Amino acid sequence: MRRIGGSIILLCAAFCAISQAEQLTFQTQTAQHGQQFAYHWLDASLHSHHLEFNLPHESIDATPLQLSHYQASLAQRHVTVEMLKVARQFDPRDARITIRQRGEAIEVNVEGRNQQQLNDIQQELLAVKEKAYQTYLQDRYYVPYTTPLNQQAVKPDHIRFISLSTPLLIPASQAFYEQLPPQSGARDYFNLVLSWAQSIPYDPLDDRNGSNGAGFLPPVALLLNNKGDCDSKSVLTASIGRAFLPSTPMVLVLLPSHALLGIALPPKAEDQTIEWNGTRYVLMEPTGPNLLPAGQVAQSSLPALTTGQYTVEKIP
């Protein structure tokens, strides 16, 4: 069950004029013990922030930095080859097996006299087909995905990237924490992280269903390239947030062409929230360039949220 709550806040023109994220400087360089990152940016109140952290080389080397574009025809070719390997193990005197790839589809025909044996072979080949496809996706960091419009698609495995990146980004998470004044709370922490993420140059997301993973950058790749689309920025922010709050419920909220983060913080009356599986999540917009604090989302996100055109993925 899921519900959306909150109120729409109309911002005055004077505030809108200064509510664009601005990254003043960015530097990264390779040092003896790791990759160093340095940022200088302005938040919505025009306060200046400096942040520096170091990621160890061994940690960077252990995480994927680039995704190959998913191509359905190549995936089906892989599956066809695996099915043919199994088909050759059967005696042709017992069953004549034909497996053909036609575009993105695989045709299987099994002929013979023993119907029970033919049924068993069919079931085994179907199991091989499913396993081969899942292995192909897993090896390339992709997962099957049902869109908000109930379409079957394939997308990068965002949750897996968050799990892999969280330990690596502990130095970054700690650097943000050290920026906060005493007595600051979790909302203050996320507002700081959001202002930083929103200031990173934005690379627009192509249609998630048709992009085949093109444009998505895993967190470390986003840091190195200093740009990212909404999916990439949301995964990066979630990874840093999970390092800060290891047990607080968090979700990734996927709209048709956008992504948000939801965190189970105590909500304020004006917050935009969703309820999912009995837990209320405060929504966050890591994308930018609009500087939106925790609990506020872009006007363009509201139609999909109010009509339920989004999917939710739990962040472990």
pLDDT at 10: 31
117-140 burial, b at 16+ Cβ within 10 Å, e below that, comes to ebeebeeebeebbeebbeebbeeb
Tokens for 34, please give them.
Answer: 């790791």
pLDDT at 149: 86
Same-domain pairing of 51 and 198: yes
Q: Which of 139, 162, 185 is the last residue of a domain?
A: 139
Q: Which of 84, 116, 139 is the last residue of a domain?
A: 139
Is pLDDT larger for residue 213 or for residue 126? Answer: 126
Mean pLDDT of the chain: 90
Same-domain pairing of 309 and 195: yes
Residue 7 pLDDT greater than 80, yes or no:
no
Confirm if 254 and 313 have CB atoms less than 8 A apart: yes
Percent above pLDDT 70 for the chain: 91
Range(s) of the domain holding residue 111? 72-139
Same-domain pairing of 34 and 92: no
pLDDT at 11: 31
pLDDT category at 17 given cuts 50, 70, 90 is very low
Same-domain pairing of 206 and 265: yes
Is pLDDT larger for residue 206 or for residue 221? Answer: 221
Confirm if 285 and 292 have CB atoms less than 8 A apart: yes
Q: In terms of DSSP bridges, do strands 34-42 and 48-55 run parallel, antiparallel, or are they unpaired?
A: antiparallel
Mean pLDDT of all residues in 162-167? 96
**How many CA atoms, within 13 angstroms, populate the side-chain half-sphere of residue 26?**
13
Model-level pTM? 0.88
Mean pLDDT of all residues in 32-59? 93
Cα–Cα distance, 7 to 67 (Å, whole number): 38
Q: What is the CA radius of gyration of the chain?
A: 23
Same-domain pairing of 224 and 89: no
Strand order in the sheet with 34-42: 22-31, 34-42, 48-55
Least confident stretch, 8-12, 51-55, 257-261: 8-12
Same-domain pairing of 233 and 309: yes
Mean pLDDT of all residues in 115-144? 94
Number of domains present in the structure of the chain = 2
Residue 13 pLDDT greater than 50, yes or no:
no
**CB burial of residue 312 (10 Å; 0-12, 13-18, 19+):** middle
Q: Which of 89, 122, 139 is the last residue of a domain?
A: 139
Mean pLDDT of all residues in 159-164? 97
Q: Which of 203, 249, 250, 260 is nearest to 226 (CA)?
A: 203
Cα–Cα distance, 42 to 58 (Å, whole number): 32
* Helix segments in 140-229, DSSP class H: 158-168, 170-179, 186-199, 219-225
pLDDT category at 18 given cuts 50, 70, 90 is very low
Per-residue pLDDT reduced to its tens digit, 73-129: 999 999 999 999 999 999 988 899 999 988 778 999 999 888 998 999 999 999 999
- Kind plus residue range of the DSSP H or E element containing 287: none
Per-residue pLDDT reduced to its tens digit, 173-185: 999 999 999 999 9
Kindly state the greatest CA–CA separation across the chain: 81
